[in-house]
Structure formats: C-alpha cells, structure tokens
Amino acid sequence: SDVLQQETIHWSSYTDKDLALCKKTIRHLHGRMNTSLDVKATDYDKQIVLADIKYGGIYRPRDCKQKDSVAIVIPYRDRIEHLNILINHLHAMLQRQKLYYGIYVVEMSLPVQFNRGLLANAGFMTAQSIGTYSCYIIHDVDLLPLNDFNEYKCSPNNPKHLVTKNSKFKNDALPYTDYIGGVLALTTEQYYRVNGFSNLYFGWGGEDDDMHLRIKARNFTIVRNAEHIGVYLALPHNGDSSNPPNPYRDLLLQQGAYRMNVEGLSSISYIRKSLEFRQLYTWVLIDCVESE
Ligand code: UD2
C-alpha cells in the first residue's frame, strides 16, 4: 500500500489541463509491419521513447491528452521470451497510437493450474486500484499485432475482439464466428456488466467461450475491425505442463450463462503476493486456491 500511495502522489502532480485532445491521425503509424517469426527486436520496437514511460509501464503522450485510458492485462506464467518481445512491441505501437495506457502482467504462482480468466479479473482489479482506466484489453502473451491501424481502444457500445487474422490458424482465419480468443477489449462498464471472466476454468480452454456467453447474455454483440487491420503473428510455443486442457470445460460452459450473475469478478478470491512497478510494466503475482 506504500507503493500504491507513492504512485498516487506521483500521478497527482501530473497535469494535462493545457493540452488539446489527441486527434486520430495516421501520421505516426506504419500500417502493416513486416515482422517475421524471427522477432527478437524489430526496427519499429527501437522507436520506443523510454524516457516517457513511467515505472509500472504507464505512458501518456506529451503533446496532447486522451480522454480514455487503456489497461493492457496480460495473464502470464513462464513465457519470459514472449513477454519481452510483446512488451517492447506494444510500447512502440501504443506510443505511435498516442494512447494513454498502462501494461499489467498478472502471474499465477505454482503449483495451481493456470487460470487465464481469474488472472484477467485479478489484473482488472489491480489496475482499477492504481489508475482510473476506462478500457481493458485482455491480451495473450504470444500474439503480436502486425498492423498499427489496429487501435488499442475499446468500442463504447460493445466488447471488441481485436483479432481478425491470426497466423496460428489455417489461412490465418478465425476458427468460428463466436471465437473471441487472444485479444479482447472491454470498457470498464462492459467488464462490470458481464461480471468479468469466470474464475472456474483451470487449465487450457473454455474461459473465452464462457466470456462470449456472458457477452451474449447481456445483449452485447462482438465488434471487430476490417479483416486486414486485426492481423496478429502468433509466436510458437510448446504445451505447458501447468496448463493441460481442462476436461470439465464443456460441463462448465453448459451452466455458463446461469452462473454469470454470481460468479466472476464479484466472487473472485485470491491473495496478492507481490506488486512491482517495473520499468516497462506492472507485475502482479497472485496465489489462488483451486476449487474442488
Ligand atoms: C487460446 C486463446 C487464448 C485462451 C486459450 C484457452 C488464441 C489466440 N488464444 O490460446 O486466448 O482462450 O486458448 O485457455 O486463440 N499462458 C501463460 N503461461 C502458460 C499458459 C498460458 O502465460 O503456461 C497465457 C499466455 O498469455 C497465453 C495465454 O495464457 O498466451 C493462452 O494460453 P496458450 O497460448 O497456451 O493457449 P492458446 O494459444 O491455445
């Protein structure tokens, strides 16, 4: 809480009242990037203005003000190489987009099986307690956006799936219409309306389809950009021993829409073991007890 207090004081001295609102402009953007699978660091990433990133990975443009603020939440465990690539890539792109953003990496301690939904919720709660973000983007660690016209902002009326093409699928095509895996943007209000993600999906799979049920149950639809905009490169990885396919996911999904009012953000239970404001992102480590 000391750290939180310091951070609050730090931000309270920031003032952008004399700045004009940022205009949507493509002047700083590159469009489709030629990033290949060999992406240790791209030329684009070298354009990060490090000096302007505050500890915790928080950035605001200097020459204009944004009325929206975006928290990128990355559920994470043991993928450090991907994380480093993604973090550099995102800072470079989001700065070009002149966004006000913060990056939150939320890690789950072992030995409990990985739970992407619970980590997203824990990231949402942590970020809400640090800044007043109006938009949340839940982001896989292994997906690089390849077109910087893919603006990392929420859509005011509906959750937005930022992926339209993903190199991990045949012909880069999304596997089914209701698919919302990978990168999903919800306003703070939308996140509360769907009661966040379910916390019950331990292991691989299901939490994204469960979120889709929640979105539908609240009469939202999913919006996407034009196909050539939401293009992503998937970094290759092997299976993770602490994230085996969840055998109960179909069963959980059957009850998904009925459970959503009482299970999710409103019922989350975890212990925050660590919170660090690292140079390029805020890192949160959580402990949770796996339900029987
Ligand atoms: C798909 C979805 C993903 C999620 C998952 C099912 C795509 C592009 N992504 O991912 O959004 O719905 O299926 O759970 O379709 N992670 C770690 N360490 C681990 C395991 C997972 O950091 O040991 C994180 C990381 O952010 C990763 C994400 O969880 O990107 C999804 O896990 P995955 O990449 O193993 O699964 P994948 O690609 O099938």
> Higher pLDDT residue, 268 or 255?
268
Return the ligand 1 atom nearest residue 107 CA. Answer: 22
What's the rounded mean pLDDT across residues 7-16? 53
**Given this model, what pLDDT does residue 171 score?**
94
Half-sphere exposure of 229 (CA within 13 A, CB side): 11
Distance between Cα 140 and ligand 1 center (Å)? 6
| Lowest mean pLDDT across 44-48, 164-168, 277-281, 283-287 | 44-48
What's the rounded mean pLDDT across residues 262-277? 95
**Given this model, what pLDDT does residue 1 score?**
47
Cβ < 6 A, ligand 1 pocket? 74-79, 114, 116, 140-143, 166, 181-182, 204-205, 207-208, 240, 242-243
Handedness of CA 214, 215, 216, 217 (dihedral sign): positive
| Lowest mean pLDDT across 1-15, 57-71, 166-180 | 1-15
**Given this model, what pLDDT does residue 236 score?**
86
What's the rounded mean pLDDT across residues 11-27? 71
Give all strands (DSSP E) within 126-236, no chain letters. 135-139, 143-145, 160-161, 165-166, 183-187, 231-234
Distance between Cα 235 and ligand 1 center (Å)? 11
> Higher pLDDT residue, 242 or 70?
70
What CA dihedral angle connects 224, 207, 254 and 189, to 10 degrees? -60
| Lowest mean pLDDT across 130-144, 234-248, 252-266 | 234-248
Return the ligand 1 atom nearest residue 78 CA. Answer: 18
**What are the angstrom distances between the C-alpha of 99 and each of 24, 93, 152, 284?**
10, 9, 8, 23
Pairwise CA distance, residues 154 & 189, whole Å: 11
Nearest residue (by CA) to ligand 1, atom 15, is: 181
Tens-place pLDDT, residues 158-210: 999 999 999 999 999 999 999 999 999 999 999 999 999 999 999 999 999 99
Tens-place pLDDT, residues 103-121: 999 999 988 999 999 999 9
How much is the mean pLDDT over the chain?
89
Nearest residue (by CA) to ligand 1, atom 22, is: 76
Tens-place pLDDT, residues 207-233: 999 999 999 999 999 999 999 999 999
Closest to 239 (Cα-Cα) out of 197, 199, 205, 201: 205
Nearest residue (by CA) to ligand 1, atom 5, is: 205
**Given this model, what pLDDT does residue 221 score?**
97
Cβ of 161: how many Cβ atoms within 10 Å?
24
| Lowest mean pLDDT across 213-217, 258-262, 286-290 | 286-290
**Given this model, what pLDDT does residue 289 score?**
67
Nearest residue (by CA) to ligand 1, atom 18, is: 77
Q: Over 70: is that where the pLDDT of 135 sits?
A: yes
What's the rounded mean pLDDT across residues 265-285? 95
Query: Residue 76 — pLDDT band, cuts 50, 70, 90?
Result: very high
**Given this model, what pLDDT does residue 159 score?**
98
Ligand 1 pocket: which of 90, 112, 116 to mutate (most atoms <8 Å of CB)?
116
Most confident of 32-41, 123-132, 248-257: 123-132
User: Coil, strand, or helix at residue 229?
Assistant: coil
> Higher pLDDT residue, 17 or 276?
276
**Given this model, what pLDDT does residue 169 score?**
93
CB 227 within 8 A of CB 137: no
Return the ligand 1 atom nearest residue 139 CA. Answer: 26
Pairwise CA distance, residues 98 & 45, whole Å: 15
